[in-house]
Structure 1
Amino acid sequence: MGSRPYGTNVLVTGASSGIGLACLLLFAQKGYHVWGVSRSGTSKEMVPDTVHLSSMDVTDDTVVASGIERIWSEAVELTGDGIGTVVHCAGFGIGGACEDTTATEALAQFDTNYFGIVRVNNALLPLMRSRGPSMVIALGSIAGRISIPFQAHYSASKFAVEAFMEALRIEGKPFGIRCCVVEAGDTKTPFTGRRHMTIPSDSPYAHQARRAIGKMEKDEQNGYAPSKVASVVFNTAQRKHPPVRKPVGAGYALLMFLKRLLPDRLAIWVVTKMYVG
């Protein structure tokens, strides 16, 4: 079953569907005890007995603090150990022009995608430090390295995750805390249908926004299965010295390599051609 450098207990957020659910099922299949949380909850009928499910709204400080305390206690009582690996998958998307998206909508995007990670980590990291070597994996996105038009706030939230995880990697290293951002590209999940749209009918950006988001939706529905991303997450969780970030798929790894070589203006021109024309 491998070396399991961070123990056998895993917490997955955003575990009700998509990549989060795929991660939960894969870790369970590999013999881990998995605690899965999400705002809506996950049907117990979908998972094996080694999975422990509960609802947790990652935008609520009190709910997160009490939930992490409860999960840690359950893990210790059941296995004699706390949570050694956390996989942050909670998130959603907003589609629309910068000008058409309100500050309130943008704040809601950050509250889940970025501050959800902050809240869970703030509750969990003190406990992780006390147990020894631990792993923090955040589900990132190619949109966290290349800003995508008409989903600026989603991109911004994922850029923020990249920055946060880089800093945490440095700060946590003396305490045995390892960190990695797994950067998913287009993946076929319910994320596509749940994207919050901010495209008023009278918006001067409406035509271009619908065209760009239509392209995104088509690419996502023709993208990787969530199980592929889960495999990358699982393999990362086996590494004592994980990379800073891990793009999913050779094509996206090549894209990230080329982005480092291309001048910014040329990279933006390529993205414009892809989504705006």
Structure 2
Amino acid sequence: MESKQKRTALVTGGSSGIGRCTVAALSKAGYIVYEFSRRDVPVEGVKHMCVDVTDEASVQEAVGQILLERGSIEILVNCAGFGISGAVEFTELKQAKAQFDVNFFGTVNVSRAVLPSMRRQHRGHIVNISSVAAVAHIPFQAFYSASKAAVSSYSCALDNEVSPYGVRVTAVELGDIHTGFTQARQKIVLGDDEYGGRISHGVSQMEKDELSGMSPEIIGTYIARIAQKKNCAPICVAGVKYKILRFLCKILPCTLRGKIVGSIYAK
């Protein structure tokens, strides 16, 4: 009877990295946690469901099953995502579309599936994982940056749509995190000669920063804490230096901001 009184959380991309740490943090906080991913990497006390977030029918079916078992979903954390890198000129359109299919439309698919029940129960919090790349606009990661900018904009707009019904939406913009995301990045090195080695240099610098970044356990705990808040800003940034970075990106003239970012990742 006690377990039935616990609130329910759903995390996508929960088999590794930030998603896995968020799953663990929410479970520790007392939630019944379900995780969507294509791989089953067991986490004690967490219910895995093999779901591809780009498959709308599969997402709807899985969310329906959770609602049948639990009656409600109080928290959704959209962590599923991946990165591609390379010059826009040499990135095939199918790869760019795949980036958006997972990072953006995957988020949309799962959010749309849980929204009707959240709206009817007049409570719920959707947390979408974004990146400071949404405002820093990283060269040679243009499609990743664009997909995360879409997630942040979508989250702010959706929050306005559903907040009158007791549902809040937050985009958590992250900086460099030391996870397997770095090794999993799909690197496109075509055109590196034409671009004077700037593609490989820029990506190498980004990976160096990620490998010295924050731990996923700290970030998972942070995300879980944000997810449990009843009232939260539509945009939250993890880490003081990234809060400062986002602030500077918003106030600096676009040309100056571009020169600064370019001096790091596009020289």
TM-score normalised according to structure 2 size: 0.95
Per-residue CA deviations over 1:230-276 (Å, capped at 9, x if unaligned) read 12212212322101211110001011112222111111000011112
How many percent of aligned residue pairs carry the same amino acid? 38
Q: Is the 8 A contact 1:22 1:226 kept in 2?
A: yes
Match of 2:54 among 48, 59, 84: 59
Task: Say whether the 8 Å CA contact 1:92–1:191 is kept in structure 2.
Answer: yes
Q: Which residue of 1 aligns with 2:113?
A: 123
1:263 pairs with 2:253: yes
2:69 aligned residue (59, 65, 74): 74
Gaps of at least 5 residues in structure 1 are: 1-6, 77-81
Matches within 5 A, 1:216-227: 216-227=206-217
Deviation at 1:39? Answer: 1.9
**Counterpart position of 1:145:** 135
What letter corresponds to residue 54 of structure 2 in structure 1? T
Supply the distance in 2 between the matched residues of 1:176 and 1:276 (Cα, whole angstroms).
44
Kept after mapping to 1: 8 A contact 2:54/2:101:
yes
Seen in structure 2, the aligned counterparts of structure 1 residues 176 and 202 have a Cα distance that, compared at 3 Å, is: closer
CA contact (8 A) 1:11 1:86 kept: yes
Q: Does 1:159 align with 2:149?
A: yes
Deviations 1:151-182 (A, max 9, x none): 10000100110111111000001111101111
Q: Does residue 1:177 correspond to 2:167, yes or no? A: yes
> Judging changes above 3 Å, is the alpha-carbon distance between structure 1 residues 202 and 260 closer, same or farther for their aligned structure 2 residues?
closer
RMSD: 1.3
- The answer to whether the 8 Å contact 2:90/2:191 transfers is no
C-alpha displacement at 1:205, in angstroms? 2.6
Supply the distance in 2 between the matched residues of 1:248 and 1:74 (Cα, whole angstroms).
Answer: 33
Q: CA deviation at 1:203?
A: 4.9
- 1:141–1:158 CA contact under 8 A, matched in 2: yes
Q: Please tell me the residue identity of whatever aligns with 2:234.
A: V
Q: Are 1:48 and 2:44 an aligned pair? A: yes
Give the superposition deviation at 1:201: 6.2
Question: Within 1, Cα distance between the matches of 2:141 and 2:191?
Answer: 17
CA distance in 2, matches of 1:260, 1:154: 19
> Would the alpha carbon gap of residues 206 and 8 (structure 1) be closer, same or farther in structure 2, given more than 3 Å must change?
farther
| TM-aligned CA deviation for residue 48 of structure 1 | 2.1
SS in 2 for 1:69: helix
**Amino acid aligned to 1:26:** A
| Amino acid in the other structure paired with 2:109 | R
Q: 2:15 is paired with a residue of what secondary structure?
A: coil
Following superposition, which runs of at least 4 residues in structure 1 exceed 6 angstroms of deviation?
none
1:28 aligns with 2:18: no
Residue 10 of structure 1 aligns to a residue whose secondary structure is: strand
Say if 1:206 and 1:14 are closer, same or farther in 2 by CA, change over 3 A: farther
For residues 137 and 202 of structure 1, what CA distance do their matches in structure 2 show?
A: 37
Equivalent pairs, count: 262
The equivalent of 2:243 in structure 1 is 253
Residues 1:95 and 1:229: Cα distance change in structure 2 (over 3 Å): same
SS of residue matched to 2:176 = coil
TM-score (structure 1 length as normaliser)? 0.91
Q: Which residue of 1 aligns with 2:218?
A: 228
2:196 and 2:127 mapped to 1: Cα distance? 36
Q: Look up the SS of the partner of 2:115 in the other structure.
A: helix
The one-letter code sitting in structure 2 at the alignment partner of 1:104 is K
Matched position secondary structure for 2:136: coil
Q: Does 1:213 align with 2:213?
A: no
What per-residue deviation string (whole Å, max 9, x for no partner) do you get for residues 137-158 of structure 1? 0011011111100010000100
SS in 2 for 1:119: helix
